[in-house]
Amino acid sequence: MSSLCTGAVALFFLGMGLYGLVAPRALIRPFGIELTVPEARAEVRAVYGGFGVAVGALLAWAALGATGDLRSGVVLTVAVSLAGMAFGRLVARAVERPSEFFPSWFYFWVEVVGAALLIIGL
């Protein structure tokens, strides 16, 4: 069960990362951000794309072959990172008051569920 939970989150990160590398404008569009210059697209490719692929690959490794403290460290680090992202969305809710479920609340729940799956996978 733990490898399945970790693997599910790995697939999410890999998918997001590949999407960010291939289609940065489409990935960020739901947030109302226009990527009008190459530097902006490069930033999305780096942060959402490259980072997402790297985290996904690391989680896949944790799900399929890593053991012991190293596996636990990888899983815990990503779980805490996802929880931190969800916390940031709560702060945004208090300050900015986004009114629609998508994208802010949708991704809040993606992050909470991802963190929970990883904690279950420890």
Tokens of 87: 């916390």
Please state, in angstroms and as integers, the Cα–Cα distance from residue 63 to each residue in 53, 69, 77, 105, 119, following that order: 15, 13, 14, 28, 13
Question: Domain segments of the chain: what residues?
Answer: 2-120
- Asked if the bond preceding 98 is cis, omega within 30° of 0, the reply is no
Residues composing the chain: 122
Mean pLDDT (whole number) for 77-99: 94
Q: Which residue in 41, 42, 50, 59 sits closest to 18, CA to CA? A: 50
Q: What tens digit of pLDDT does each residue of 27-68 get?
A: 999 999 999 999 999 999 999 999 999 999 999 999 998 889
